[in-house]
Amino acid sequence: MTQCSTAEKIESSAIALFSQRWYSSVSVAEICREAKLSNGIFYKYFQNKEILIRHILEGVINRIALALSAMSGNDAQERIRSMTDILVRFAAEHKDLITVFREGQYRYFEYEHRLAELYKRSLAQALGRSVSLAEYLYAIGGIRFAAVRAALHGTQVSLGAIEDMLINGIFKGLRWDEAKVFGITVSQPDITLDEGSRVRLMNAGKKLFGSRGFHEVNIHELTDAAGLSVGAFYKHFESKEAFFGELIDEAGKQVRHFITINLSPGLNRLERELQGIYLFGVFLSLDRWCYNIVREGEFVAPARVRAYYAAFEHGYDKLGDEGLDPIFNAADPLYRASSVEFLLGISHYYGIELLFDGFRGSAKAVVGSIAKYLSEGL
């Protein structure tokens, strides 16, 4: 067995395990058992588990770069279609790598930075011009989220619909009033005076799990932070996993409630979407722990995270076909569903940029710039 093949065996075993479970819960010993190697062999190739995961993340970026190097087309539209096809196909064919990278994106943000730069360069190449942050969020956010949801959650999306949205927009021809979208006074939800044991546990858990992670917090630490006994915890929750699932459900309810109570009446479909993106960012700036909990939940409680996104989809479904291109919507049965995933992707990556990178300009300027692409496409 050569040195190269041994390292590759360790890497492939780690990818298989990391794609099934949260990185923190997988030990070096488990990786070696999966690879049918002794523990000592591991350290001949990787100093520790972090070095290994970083090596894997580097490899994912290189593979995506190689895939994108095949982008082709005689004009911007053809290149956009080619790029979209490559990214959607890559996610479908490499579910394990996408799953591992999604954790790495959250844990080691510099790799997300590097992948984002790769996507920006590819988008600029496709369009034949430099791209703004708003263009990146609109195009790549929409593609990435829809592709990942299709690959990992089985969500049905239409490649043709996504390509049309990229090129021509979603709310075609609609205009927006800046004063209507941003001229609002944001209200926070009413503060509950209920200091019962369940509420105290939930509040303590949000902060602890959100700041440190599921596997780094035990029930004793949780109950100590809430000023309660371990027995009080089990009065309300069967296990730490069940408790974490409740935190995910509550995070979704809080985000949706915050947006709902602050959405202005009388907005057209484009204005409503812009205000929703803006309010999502405001919520994250007030409570970033909700985001961390949902992201970690993708591995700890995946069914609860699927329900989290399903609730947002249900909110979009209530709006029906309002604002969508009637011709494309009638011709493609997956057009509306694809638009929902695309729009969720814009908000998702807007939130990532806001939380981890900040904006050089104002959030309002970024959201306002996204309006052009929602209405006219790239």
pLDDT digits (tens, 9 = 90+) for 155-210: 999 999 999 999 999 999 999 999 999 999 988 876 665 678 899 999 999 999 98
| Cα gap 20→30, rounded to integer Å | 13
| Domain(s) of CATH 1.10.357.10: residues in the chain | 3-131, 178-376
Whether the pLDDT of residue 1 is over 50: the answer is no
Handedness of CA 366, 372, 377, 378 (dihedral sign): negative
| Cα gap 165→174, rounded to integer Å | 14
Mean pLDDT of 310-323: 90
Task: Read off the pLDDT of residues 93-148 as tens digits, 9 standing for 90 and up.
Answer: 999 999 999 888 878 889 999 999 999 999 999 999 999 999 999 999 999 999 99
Fold of 3-131: Tetracycline Repressor; domain 2 (1.10.357)
Q: Which of 6-20, 25-39, 60-74 has maximum average pLDDT?
A: 60-74
State pTM to two decimals.
0.91
Length of the chain in residues, anyone?
Answer: 378
| Cα gap 369→376, rounded to integer Å | 11
CATH architecture of 178-376: Orthogonal Bundle (1.10)
CA torsion, points 138, 144, 149, 151, in degrees to nearest 10? 150
